[in-house]
Amino acid sequence: MICELCGADVPRLKNVAIDATILAVCTDCSRFGDEVATPALRQSTMPPIIAQRLEMRQRRMTPRDVYTQAGELELAEDFPARIRQAREARGWKQADLGAKINERVSVIAKLESGTISPGDSLVRKLERELGIKLKERVEPVAAKKPAAGGGVTLGDLIKMREDRP
């Protein structure tokens, strides 16, 4: 059951009058009003669209574990070539592409030369207009600790310096 005030998913709700409105709320939110008698059809009177929105809100608000994600989407290293090839495949000039995505020709030229990297909104516009993917999934790289005796330490450098004549 979802609290109509905070959107929390709780096993039990209380009917509370808050500013002359009866809401089905969790025990935490019940302190904001006065508890009233339970209406017989209270759950069926909430419009389904509100229930949907409350459930979607609850999903959005649930924290995600960033360590369990399969990988993040990052800008591809060869994005300038992808943009240029897709534009040329359609027979467009840089000015044509700029006009279609509402950007200046200088921005398109800098993107294709790789002097600037596009922001998220520009990436979406380019992907939509050119029908290409500029972001790719990258697997996280785990940092490995060097094996014991595998690297030179500061102590090793001091010993080497002492050994020199």
Q: What is the pLDDT of residues 86-128, one digit of tens each?
A: 999 999 999 999 999 999 999 999 999 999 999 999 999 999 9
SS3 139: coil
Tell me: pLDDT of 68 over 70: no
Q: Identify the band that residue 4 occupies on the pLDDT scale cut at 50, 70 and 90.
A: confident
The radius of gyration of the chain from alpha carbons, rounded to an integer in Å, stands at: 29
Look up residue 48 and give its two tokens.
């389904």
- For residue 24, the model assigns a pLDDT of 87
pTM of the model: 0.46
Spatial separation of the C-alpha atoms in residues 146 and 102, rounded to whole Å: 50
Most confident of 54-58, 109-113, 161-165: 109-113
Given this structure, which CATH class describes domain 72-138? Answer: mainly alpha
Spatial separation of the C-alpha atoms in residues 89 and 129, rounded to whole Å: 13
Q: What ranges do the domains of the chain cover? A: 14-61, 72-138
